Amino acid sequence: MTTFNLRVNGKPHTVDTDADTPLLYVLRNDLQMNGAKFGCGLGQCGACTVMLDDAAVMSCLVPVSVVGERAVRTVEGLGTADAPGVLQRAFIEEQAAQCGYCIAGMIMRATELLEQSAAPTDDQIREHMMPNLCRCGTHMRILRAVRRAADTMHAGPGSSTSSTSSAGAKA
Ligand code: FES
Ligand code: FES
């Protein structure tokens, strides 16, 4: 057992665990942050995606010992049920979730994109979201939700978009 000091969603946490424990397990089991999900445990589905500083990572592949000083951000830090963040609201408005298992990871992957690019093209959205899989097959609604969030952010604070521009399909 080793003691690790983590900063998650802006708050400090101390955990005692083995150095090779995946960050995903620490978030879920030690910190009770259950937004990030265990899907494959192999870096192949993206259900566990969180942000480490400015990069989206698959937290099932990140040993807690390599996190160090980097800021961890999870879907819990983006908003609440009463006050969802822009991406969370867009996913609700586009009804992007079916079972919802992939959604926290999708939102964190999209967070990375929208922090890198204020006005991504539909092709850029599609390519960026590719590592994250949805078993329910709501990909087109997910792409529309990211488009909606990008349009809202691009329009500036206080705007509300009724954009129906799609990422390329009508599903
Ligand atoms: Fe991490 Fe699937 S659970 S990529
Ligand atoms: Fe069920 Fe994506 S909504 S896996």
Q: pLDDT tens, 99-131?
A: 999 999 999 999 999 999 989 999 999 999 999
Residue 39 belongs to domain spanning: 2-74
Atom of ligand 1 nearest to the CA of 48: 1
DSSP 73-90: E-GGGT--SSS--HHHHH
- Nearest ligand atom owner, CA of 145: 2
- In 3D space, the residue among 117, 132, 162, 157 whose CA is nearest the CA of residue 144 turns out to be 162
Cβ contact 169:142 at 8 Å: no
Q: Is 4 helix (H, G, I), strand (E, B) or coil?
A: strand
- Residue 70 CA to ligand 2 center (angstroms) comes to 29
Mark whether 65 and 111 lie in a shared domain: no
Cβ contact 163:147 at 8 Å: yes
Mark whether 70 and 29 lie in a shared domain: yes
| pLDDT tens digit sequence for 35-72 | 999 999 999 999 999 999 999 999 999 999 999 999 99
Q: How far apart are CA 162 and CA 60, in angstroms?
A: 36
Domain assignment present for 164: no
- Number of structural domains (the chain) is 2
Cβ contact 46:105 at 8 Å: yes
| pLDDT for position 21 | 98
- Residue 156 CA to ligand 1 center (angstroms) comes to 33
Indicate the residue among 29, 44, 74 that finishes a domain.
74
CATH number, residue 106: 1.10.150.120
Mark whether 62 and 92 lie in a shared domain: no
| pLDDT for position 164 | 35
